[in-house]
Amino acid sequence: MLRAILARIKQGHRTMPYPAAPLKMPERFRGYPVQASLCKSTALSFAAPGCPYGAFDTAGEGSLDLGKCLFCAGCQAGGVEFSNDFSLAATRRENLIVTPESVRCRVEPLSKELLKLFGRSLKFREVSAGGCNACEADINVLSTIGWDLGRFGIQFTASPRHADGLWITGPVTKNMHQALLATYEAIPSPKIVVACGACAINGGPFIDSPQVLNGTDAFLPVDLYIPGCPPHPATILDGLLRLLNKIG
C-alpha cells in the first residue's frame, strides 16, 4: 500500500484541466470551418462537385453541412478552411449547417427538470448500429485517466434498464434497426438520445446505401448531435458538458 501511495505522489495529477482551462488542439486538427471561406464565388463552386457525401450546397451563398462532412480535407484545395475550434455539437440538426452568416453551432442545455435528474449522474447505453468502431474508440478514450469522463458523473452502462439515455453510433443498418428501437424502448423515461458521428447523424460515408437508414432522427428524437468521422474526444466532451450546463 505504501508503495502505491508513493507512486501516486510521484506521478502527480494526470487528468487534464479542461474545462477549467483551455484545451490546446494540434495544429492539423480540423474543427469548425472558417465561415468566410464558404462563399460560393471561391470555395463552394470548386469543391461542391467533388464532395461525394453531399456536404456542400451551392444554393445562395453556399453552405457546409457538418452533419454530412467527414472532415476529410479534400475540399481544402477549393479554398475551404478549418479552424482548431472543436466545439461542433448542436441540439438542433439545422444548426449543423454552416453558411457565411450563420450562427455558430449551439448546444441548448437540458430543461430544468432533466438537469435536476441528470445533472449529477448521466448514464448511457451505447448501440453501434453498423458503424466501423472508430467512434467507439474515441468514446473509450474519454474513460482513460487523462480525460476521466466519470468525474462529471457521465458513464456508459451495460444495460438499457440502468441507462438515462441512448448513445448511437453507425449509420443504422437495416439489420440493427429493430435492435436499436428495442434498446430505446427498454430505457426508462424520461430519456435522451445522442447521435455521435457523421454516420449516426446522416449516414456518413454510407449515405443512401440501400442497407442503411441514413442516421437516426428519422425515427428517434435526437437531443444532441456530435459531428465528425469520428468526433474528437474533445468535441464529444464539450457537447455533453454544454448539454448538462456545466460550461457556457
**Domain locations along the chain:** 35-85, 112-243
- Residue 47 is predicted with a pLDDT of 54
Task: Give residue-wise pLDDT tens across range 173-194.
Answer: 999 999 999 999 999 999 999 9
| SS3 assignment, position 226 | strand
Lowest mean pLDDT among 78-87, 104-113, 190-199: 78-87
The kind and range of the H/E element at 46 are helix 45-47
User: Average pLDDT over the chain, rounded to whole?
Assistant: 89
Contact 28/44 with Cβ under 8 angstroms? no
Q: Using alpha carbons, list the distances in angstroms from residue 145 to 12, 94, 149, 240.
A: 12, 35, 9, 18
Of 13 and 152, which is predicted with more confidence? 152
pLDDT of residue 41: 46
Q: List phi, psi (to 5°) of 162.
A: -100, 5
Residue 32 is placed in which grid cell? 469548425
User: What would the mean pLDDT of 219-234 be, rounded to a whole number?
Assistant: 96
What mean pLDDT do residues 221-236 have? 97
Which run of H or E residues covers position 6? helix 2-11
Q: What share of the chain is helix, strand, coil (3-state, %, to 5)?
A: 35, 15, 50
Show the cell assigned to 217.
432522427
The answer to whether 95 and 224 are in contact (CB under 8 A) is no
Instruction: Give the architecture-level CATH label for domain 112-243.
Output: 3-Layer(aba) Sandwich (3.40)
Q: What pLDDT score was predicted for residue 42?
A: 52
Does residue 214 come out as left (phi exceeding 0), alpha (psi in the -120 to 50 range) or beta?
left
Q: What is the pLDDT of residue 142?
A: 95
CATH number of 35-85: 3.30.70
Q: Determine contact, residues 199/133, Cβ cutoff 8 Å.
A: no
CB 37 within 8 A of CB 46: no
Whether 207 has a pLDDT exceeding 50, the answer reads yes
Helices 134-141, 233-243: inter-axial angle, 10-degree rounding: 70
Q: Calculate what percentage of the chain has a pLDDT beyond 90.
A: 68
Alpha helices in 66-133 (DSSP H): 112-118
Phi, psi of 127 (to 5 degrees): -125, 120
